[in-house]
Structures are given as structure tokens and as C-alpha cells.
Amino acid sequence: MDCNPLNFISAIEPLNGGNYNSRREKVETALALSDIDLALTAPCPIEPKDPVRAENESEAAFNARVHDHAPIRMQYDLDRAKWGSSNRKCMMVIKSSILEAIRGVIPECDTAREYLINMESQFTVSSKAYASTLIRKLNTMKYTNGGIRDHILRMSNMTSKLKSMDMELPEEFIIHLVITSLPKEFETFAVNYNSQLEKWGIEKMIDMCVQEEERLKGSSGDTINYLSQNKKRNYQNNNSKLQGKPQWNASSSKAHGKAPMHDHHQRSNHEVVVDKDTCKWCKIKGYYQKDCVEFLKHLCGKGIPYEEDPAKRREKH
């Protein structure tokens, strides 16, 4: 196992305003594992007062007190040097893991402990906003796939973060949040839980949910496609726009005698049925479309020569 202190320190995530609580735990852990957290766990040593000779005190008695005070002074100097080194290193680690834009809003101070207190006072509002975000996620979180154990552990991790911000949720309430986050396939499981008097803890809830998921997989061929809880898109309005507008095609037009649409003639959008001996172009009875003068003149506009003789026209058509 690599116990290099630099590895613990480099693992500290930068402070970005919304991760104060989780980051502070990592900072304190890294400093402790690096054995430089003395300035956080102990106050600064108090300097002892040097002995002062009293008016009626003999020189021998004073020298004896000075001699007795020497070890105390020496121990203070050692402790003060050790604490000062720890305080300096802690300040360097804490400040180096804060974004420069945020570092400027934290008041300066002489000790690492005071600096952490100032950080806490600055990010109290951010912590409240972060707590609101966690609560909102817990209320709206839904399980879709990926392992129900991981899903419940993610929810449990969110509640532990709230606990660190003095917003601890009762375990029974967490269990109900988990139940409501399960998909429709777990409805029978939820009914069975609500109908019994026994109350489960997180660990038992995980075990029972895993067993239920395995049962569902076994009954559906080892795979589960959980139904999406999103609303289905309604296509009825779009389809209704097409109602009443018949679509022309060659087969329906030929079967019912529907007239084709042309640019210079206005035709009805509704289907038109004509008699057998009626021209499909001008809708006049007595001749067919191939004998219609108006239709033949229209063809002349398309580059087809007009034949005056009806007999020859029949031969061509």
C-alpha cells in the first residue's frame, strides 16, 4: 500500500462552493494520514513566563527557580516549533485546494483552525442550497436500470450527506423514498411491504429488493425492460389535422374516377365519382375524356399536336 502523503493531498477535490462538507472531510483525512494535522487537533502552545526575581529573594533561590524553569522553556520551544510547522503546512494544503476566485472571499487569519471556521461561515448558504438540491433529487429519483443495489446505495449516500449538514432523515422515511422510486414492476413488492408490521432497515431493504429483482428476471427470461414513467407523446392532434383530406393515388383515382389536379383548373379536395359515359376532364356526359376538346387543347399546350378528325383521334388513343 502506497502511504505517500502527497497522494492523499493530491486526492483532495478543489473547493467550488457546493462541495464544502465532503471536501472538508477529505482535507482533514488527508492531513491526518500525512501526520501534519497537529494544528487542527491541538491549540497553539502557551508560552511560559520567565521567572522574575522578587525584591527579598536571594540570588541562590532565584537561580534555583531559573534552573527549574529551563526544561519548561525548552519543552515549549520544541512544542511551538512543531505546532508552527504543522500550522504552516495545513494552511498551504487548505489554500492550495481552493479555487483562486473563491479564495479571495475567505478572510485571512493566522491559524489553520480559524481559517476552516471562516470557510464554514462563508459557505453556510451554499450548503443550504446544496441540501435543497439533494432533497429534490431524493424526491424525484426513479430507478430505471443498472442494478437496484447501486440505486439504493446512491440514495443512502445522499441521506448521509444531509446528515453531515445536521439534516438527518429517519431511516423509515428513507425506506419509503426507496419504495416510491421503484418502477411499476415492483408494485406487488411494495404492497407486501406496506401490509406487514415489520419495519426494515437499509440493509434488509437492499437484500429484499435484490431478491425481488432476481425473481422478476427469472420470470421474464433473465432480462427486465422497466416501463418508462415518462408520459407518452400524444400524436392524436397531429393525426386529426389530416382527417378530411383524402390523399390521391393512382389506384383510388382509377377505381372511383377521381379527376387529377391541374394548375389551371380548380378541383375539389373531396373525392368525385363520375358516370361511365362522362368525360373525366370537363364532367360533361356524352363522350369520354379522349374526345374532349378542352382536354385535347390542354395537351396541345404540352407539345402534343391536336387532331381535328375524331376517327384519327380514336386511332391514336
* pLDDT in the model for residue 288: 76
Global pTM exceeds 0.75: no
Whole-angstrom distance, CA of residue 117 vs CA of residue 102: 15
CA angle 173, 175, 180 (to 5 degrees): 95
Are 2 and 64 contacting, i.e. CB atoms less than 8 angstroms apart?
no
* pLDDT in the model for residue 247: 47
* pLDDT in the model for residue 98: 83
Cα pseudo-dihedral 180, 152, 204, 132, rounded to 10: -70
* pLDDT in the model for residue 301: 62
* pLDDT in the model for residue 298: 74
> Measuring CA to CA, how many Å separate 167 from each of 79, 128, 134, 191?
39, 10, 11, 29
Nine-digit cell string for 180: 416510491
Long-range contacts at 154-161 (CB < 8 A, ≥ 24 apart): 155/181, 156/202, 158/134, 161/21, 161/22, 161/134
Question: Which residues is 129 bridged to in the sheet?
Answer: none
Q: Average pLDDT across each block of 10 residues of the chain; the chain has 317 residues. List them in order.
A: 64 72 79 88 92 90 92 94 94 85 82 87 67 85 87 88 80 90 89 86 90 85 58 48 46 45 44 64 78 76 60 59
